[in-house]
Structure 1
Amino acid sequence: MGGRLFVAVLLTMTVFGSAVPSPGWAKGGREALKSKHFDLSGDAKTLFREAQLRNNTVMQSFAFDNVNGHVYVVQLMAGGQQLADEPAPVSGADRARNGDLALSKLDLEGNLLGHMFLKGFGHGVQIGVETEGDKTYLWTETDSVAEGKDGWGTQLARFTFENGAVLTNESPELEKFRLKENVDRTTVAIDPAYGLLTMRYRENGSFRFGVYRLEDVKQRRFEPIADVAQPSLGTFQGFASYGAYLYLLEGNAYGNNGSEAPLGNTYITSVDLNTGNLVDRQLITAGRDVLFREPEGLAVRIPDMRHPHKAELHFGFASTVSAENTSKLANMFYLDRLMPVQALKRK
């Protein structure tokens, strides 16, 4: 390439009538992916605070429907609920072991609009959203297998949101994808700007991230365009990708593993997907005044899909209603300063 650092590349396809940036990613000696990078040291802004979800458990992760202005949040189902196909209420411990999830649909002000229940899916570490025409598809883990006190997904699923529906991991509405054999702890994020799917998975005891073109996955072509190891982190709490960069969330609620008010131990780390090298790691102090404050979930939002280069990196915190009432609420903050495009070289 020439000496210019910025190279604008467009896909021949359009999404909702607007061009989206091409990954420009290929194997071999061809050009590596270029994209902007979120400034993790910037001041965070607030999307909403103290939103009520379908259940009163900790939010696990979330993702945005950028077309319709919605956010979907997943959490472990609360104990004591009895669904129509169940003979008796199920405890919270059994829900966690079974991988039973509650999925809430919110508007961007945090108002609850609808929900689904997902039985036997997993832990909900990260989810993705894809909007295709007038349909909104959720991407999640599924086929949960118990390990210790929790259930974890072993492959991916795609399904449409249907308010009030209850799905099991055997429901015909699910389209399942096994991107790699002999791996587990599979979770997924969608890059809405670059048309990519990132899967976190565990292989031989170690976590990695595989990046695929979303359209390839839907056509069952499972050839990754990048695959990087997870760096050493604290308690893992979510991930997202935007172009050439992977973003990782870590940390604990106040009072756990060295997390103390008001700063806590929440960090976001960025990784160059072309090389696997760490780019940045910053302490996140947004929402320092919320009670409990456990970091949960990362997601990229595109406020206007006609301008996919104007993006926001959102991160969530679970909070409690009060010191006496430990029912959990959802809080979301975001960073929106993007650093200039850089030409990245594979090593």
Structure 2
Amino acid sequence: MRRFVKHIASIAILSLLPFSVPAAGAEPSALHSKMFVLSAPAAELIRDKALHNGTVLQSFAFDNVNQRIYVVQLMAGGQKLPGESGAVSGANRDKNGDLALTELDMQGNETGYMFLKGFGHGVQIGVEAIGGTSYLWTETDAVTEGSSGWGTQIARFAFENGKILTKDSPELEKHRLIEGADRTTVNIDPANDLLTMRYRKNGAFRFGVYNLEDVKQRNYTPIADVPQPTVGTFQGFASYGGYLYLLEGNSYGSGGSVEPVGNTYITAVDLQTGEVLDKQLITAGDTLTFREPEGLAIRLPDVKHPQKAELSFGFASNFTPNRLANIYSIDRLLPAEAIEGMQGSHKKDKED
């Protein structure tokens, strides 16, 4: 964090410099981008909004084209879906990897829902917009480990209000990007058309980044792959261009989280080197009850200007059985020149 502070005074000057522009005919690298200033103040997008079930939100994603928010959560106990012999407990829903998916408008009002049976834990999701249709990217094919079900590959499907999908539904387009991987979760960078998958292999978590269209064509060659750095309780991830953002923390009263400061942090990682560039305590939403960090996503307020992006993070609030959803956003970005300065200084610090 100290290396970040050393450079913060130069940001105002560097932010006036133009982007580096690729030579004529050259294709700009998707991994060359600005980086979010994690210490910037966050704006509140939605507060204390009800979801289709009253469980904690797990993660969320934006359809920036159609102005929708999709939120995934573990299915609440006590529900009986078609084909089930009786109501299923919350513990068994968790064990089976059963999820509820809520569609919200940009004001946080519910406009639809789906149920996803046997998908996973919902640690992170992504959305791809094609015309007026929102395609969800999620984990699927849950395998029980401990008390929860966790995905073993990823899937793409169109949102259809009221639909119940199982891991065997024909509507799913499945992708196994890495053989032998499990704990697969996914996020979409809508500004750069990239798909990032978090996965576990040989006991270690990593992040692979792919061109979205390549994945859809079943070309599973990553453009980046980095290890997960040491973090606290993992709560979500998102990538934007060349940088990966990791969310961690606990609700008040658990894991060392004390009201009102808490222990929510966001870490920035260079996707080309795996180097941690910054880690900042997040104090937004300090008046929320419960306040458990849940999920990261990239929001584009204007899809015609994808370079003006926002890094959004969620919190669950209120109490069982009526947990509520909250989303905040950071919109300040560092120019490439400032980031390069940070990287150079960090390298020198390690050499010293």
Question: Normalized against structure 1, the TM-score is what?
Answer: 0.90
Which one has a larger percent strand, Structure 1 or Structure 2? 1
Matches within 5 A, 1:22-33: 24=29, 33=31
Q: Please point out which of 191, 194, 205 is paired with 1:193.
A: 191
Matching of residue 243 in structure 1 with residue 241 in structure 2:
yes
Which one has a larger percent helix, Structure 1 or Structure 2? 2
Q: Spell out, residue by residue over 1:315-336, the C-alpha distance to the aligned partner (whole angstroms, 9 max, x if none).
A: 0000015xxx652000111100
User: SS where residue 71 of structure 1 aligns?
Assistant: strand
Contact residue 144 and residue 150 of structure 2 kept, 8 A: yes
Matching of residue 42 in structure 1 with residue 55 in structure 2:
no
Q: Spell out, residue by residue over 1:44-64, the C-alpha distance to the aligned partner (whole angstroms, 9 max, x if none).
A: 100010000000000000000
Contact residue 296 and residue 312 of structure 2 kept, 8 A: yes
Match of 2:324 in 1: 329
Could you say if the C-alpha distance between residues 170 and 258 of structure 1 is closer, same or farther in structure 2, counting changes exceeding 3 Å?
same
Aligned mates of 1:209, 1:132 — CA distance in 2:
25
Q: Spell out, residue by residue over 1:262-302, the C-alpha distance to the aligned partner (whole angstroms, 9 max, x if none).
A: 00000000000010000100000000010000000000000
Counterpart residue identity of residue 84, structure 2: E
Matches within 5 A, 1:1-347: 6-8=19-21, 24=29, 33-321=31-319, 326-342=321-337
Aligned mates of 2:89, 2:61 — CA distance in 1:
27
User: SS where residue 35 of structure 1 aligns?
Assistant: coil
Aligned mates of 2:22, 2:234 — CA distance in 1:
33
Q: Spell out, residue by residue over 1:31-75, the C-alpha distance to the aligned partner (whole angstroms, 9 max, x if none).
A: xx3101100001110001000000000000000000011100000
Aligned mates of 1:204, 1:6 — CA distance in 2:
40
Counterpart residue identity of residue 303, structure 1: P
Contact residue 5 and residue 341 of structure 1 kept, 8 A: no
Q: Spell out, residue by residue over 1:129-161, the C-alpha distance to the aligned partner (whole angstroms, 9 max, x if none).
A: 000122210000000000000000000000000
Aligned mates of 1:5, 1:53 — CA distance in 2:
42
The CA deviation at 1:341 is 2.2
Q: Aligned residues: percent identity?
A: 65
User: SS where residue 217 of structure 1 aligns?
Assistant: helix
Could you say if the C-alpha distance between residues 81 and 8 of structure 1 is closer, same or farther in structure 2, counting changes exceeding 3 Å?
farther
Contact residue 288 and residue 317 of structure 2 kept, 8 A: yes
Contact residue 51 and residue 111 of structure 1 kept, 8 A: yes
Question: Number of paired residues?
Answer: 326
Contact residue 194 and residue 210 of structure 2 kept, 8 A: yes
Aligned mates of 2:175, 2:78 — CA distance in 1:
32
Match of 2:14 in 1: none
User: SS where residue 214 of structure 2 aligns?
Assistant: helix
The CA deviation at 1:23 is 5.7
Aligned mates of 2:178, 2:119 — CA distance in 1:
18
Aligned mates of 1:112, 1:55 — CA distance in 2:
11
Aligned mates of 1:326, 1:99 — CA distance in 2:
19
User: SS where residue 92 of structure 2 aligns?
Assistant: helix
The CA deviation at 1:6 is 2.5
User: SS where residue 65 of structure 2 aligns?
Assistant: coil
User: SS where residue 223 of structure 1 aligns?
Assistant: coil
Contact residue 191 and residue 197 of structure 1 kept, 8 A: yes
Runs of 4+ residues over 6 Å off in structure 1: none
Match of 1:30 in 2: none
Contact residue 235 and residue 294 of structure 2 kept, 8 A: yes
Question: Normalized against structure 2, the TM-score is what?
Answer: 0.89
Q: Spell out, residue by residue over 1:93-121, the C-alpha distance to the aligned partner (whole angstroms, 9 max, x if none).
A: 10000000000000111101000000000
Could you say if the C-alpha distance between residues 244 and 23 of structure 1 is closer, same or farther in structure 2, counting changes exceeding 3 Å?
farther
Aligned mates of 2:113, 2:83 — CA distance in 1:
17
Q: Which runs of 5+ in 1 are unaligned?
A: 13-21, 26-32
Could you say if the C-alpha distance between residues 191 and 225 of structure 1 is closer, same or farther in structure 2, counting changes exceeding 3 Å?
same
Could you say if the C-alpha distance between residues 204 and 332 of structure 1 is closer, same or farther in structure 2, counting changes exceeding 3 Å?
same
Contact residue 118 and residue 142 of structure 2 kept, 8 A: yes
The CA deviation at 1:84 is 1.1
Counterpart residue identity of residue 124, structure 2: Q
Q: Spell out, residue by residue over 1:1-56, the C-alpha distance to the aligned partner (whole angstroms, 9 max, x if none).
A: xxx9722459x9xxxxxxxxx6615xxxxxxx310110000111000100000000
